[in-house]
Structures are given as C-alpha cells and as structure tokens.
Amino acid sequence: MDWLLAEVGLAPFTLGRLMGYFYLAASQFVHWPQLFKILKDPRRDTRAISLTTYCAIIVMVLSSLAYGIYLHSWPIIVNNVIGLCVNAAIFGIKARNAWKYRSGNGVSTDP
C-alpha cells in the first residue's frame, strides 16, 4: 500500500503523521467555542478577552502558516488559514469593542 501512496505523492500513514493530524484538528477547534460565545451574545461582550493575547495568537498562527508554506504541507497551511480567520474574527470584534469604549461612541463597557 505504501508504494501506491508514494505514486500519488502521499507519505504513508505512520503513527507520527496521525498524531500530527490529531494535533491539527485539536488546535483548529480550540478557539471556535470562544467565537460562538461572542457571536451568540447580543452585546458581543468581549470584556473577559485579552486583546494582547489574541494579537500574540495571530502572530503565532501566521508564523505556523509560514512554516507550512515553507514545508509545502497542505494540512498545515489549510489548518492555519482557517485558524487565522477564526482568531482574526475574535480579534476584530474585541478591537471594535475596545475602540468604541475608548472613543466614547458606544455604550460598551469593554475596557
């Protein structure tokens, strides 16, 4: 079976590769509950979220995306593009709420 996978350019499924795919799936879904919680709240309350933390997470995802591009690894690339979208959405909502609070244009209590 390994020769067939090699013919189409795929590496054999080893335990390490399966663990890597599990890691990609787990790391992908870790931020979804936070996004759903924010979107479900009619006020989009983000007071408990750190803007600095999500900025660091986005930098981390971008560096992992660059690594996936360097390796030409589609699973890593796709995982990080999706993760970047989710984390950018959370970051955007938090930044918007913080901007409203600082400019005094909203009734947000988000510091």
Q: Please provide the DSSP assignment of 56-95 as one string.
A: HHHHHHHHHHHHHHHHT-HHHHHHHHHHHHHHHHHHHHHH
Let me know if residue 40 belongs to a domain.
yes
Tens digit of each residue's pLDDT, the chain (111 residues):
555 555 555 666 677 777 888 888 888 888 888 889 988 988 888 888 888 999 999 999 999 999 999 998 888 899 999 999 999 999 999 988 888 777 665 554 545
Let me know if residue 17 belongs to a domain.
no
What pLDDT does 44 receive?
A: 83
Single pTM value for the model: 0.72
Let me know if residue 111 belongs to a domain.
no
Let me know if residue 1 belongs to a domain.
no
Question: What range does the domain containing 58 cover?
Answer: 28-103
Compute φ and ψ for 55, nearest 5 degrees. -65, -45
Let me know if residue 15 belongs to a domain.
no
Let me know if residue 73 belongs to a domain.
yes
Let me know if residue 53 belongs to a domain.
yes
Q: Which CATH number do you get for residue 44?
A: 1.20.1280.290
Domain count, the chain: 1
CA atoms within 13 A on the CB side of 3: 0
